[in-house]
Amino acid sequence: MNIVVCVKQVPDTTEVKINMETGTLIRAGVPSIINPYDHFALAAALELKKKHNFKVTALSMGPPQAKSVVQMAMALGADEGVLLSDMAFAGSDTWATSYALAKAIKKIGKTDMVFCGMQAIDGDTAQTGPGVAQQLGMAQITFCESVEVDGRRIIARRLIDGGHETVEAKAPVTLTMIMDREYVARYPSFPAVHGSLKKPFHVWSAADIGAEDQYLGLKGSPTQVNKIYPPAQKEKAAMFSGSGQEGARKILEIMRGEHFIE
């Protein structure tokens, strides 16, 4: 089977700073890493490669410096890397990003499984994986913790409210991966990094993947940022003293006062 893993370069922080005037992310001066969920997705794909001898291609869309996350994925074991880099992609929302990634996956060739992270730690929308599946007309399994393959059957254990469920689908499938709590990210050795430089790596423009300009970037993005602002500060929490019963009585009073209860 052929697997494509979508890896996004993200700032090494969950405290993303926003340019209040333009409504865009401020990336300057913040070190970048591979999105942690994508690191886990890559590890899951590489595990399948080891077991079944599958081919794994790492795919990213971003500015030229996003090459480093593709290179990292190759150093960790991906066989090939693709970076979509073109000014035409700049400012893309999740729809336009999914469109471009899906176009690239079609160009990569026959793909049986697409792995994405559950979400990117900067954009946080969790929309891109399902968007890619939709653009490719593939089945999708979201919030997966682990994945097994048996012939063309993909068996995924996914996290749901209050428990887990096991879902089966026939390839081709797009999966979005959550992160196992036990997971410890692996980093490549120097020889692995060096070896990865010899692996096939491609930089593709919008024209290379046959993407139509009208569906890319800000103008191809159906979502427009209207206004961006920090959430209102919460009022300082009330402090109670006294016994548990007195505390409970006070909480009930407050809830009645706010009409949460009668």
Among 33, 88, 113, 126, binds ligand FAD (CB under 6 A): 126
CB atoms within 10 A of CB 7: 29
Q: State which of residues 32, 33, 34, 35 lies at the interface with ligand FAD (CB under 6 A).
A: 35
Residue 36 or 79: the one with the smaller Cβ distance to ligand FAD is: 36
Contacts with ligand FAD by CB under 6 A: the residue count is: 31
Please pick, from the candidates 18, 55, 68, 91, the single residue that binds ligand FAD as defined by CB under 6 A.
91
Name which of 229 and 260 has its Cβ closer to ligand FAD.
Answer: 229
Residue closer to ligand FAD, measured from CB, 94 or 111 = 94
Q: Out of 12, 124, 212, 246, point to the residue binding ligand FAD (CB under 6 A).
A: 124
Taking CB under 6 A as the rule, does residue 127 contact ligand FAD?
Answer: yes
Q: Show contacts with ligand FAD in window 53-82 (CB under 6 A).
A: 60-62
| Interacting residues with ligand FAD (CB under 6 A) | 6-8, 24-25, 35, 37-38, 60-62, 91-94, 97, 101, 116-117, 119-120, 122-129, 223, 225
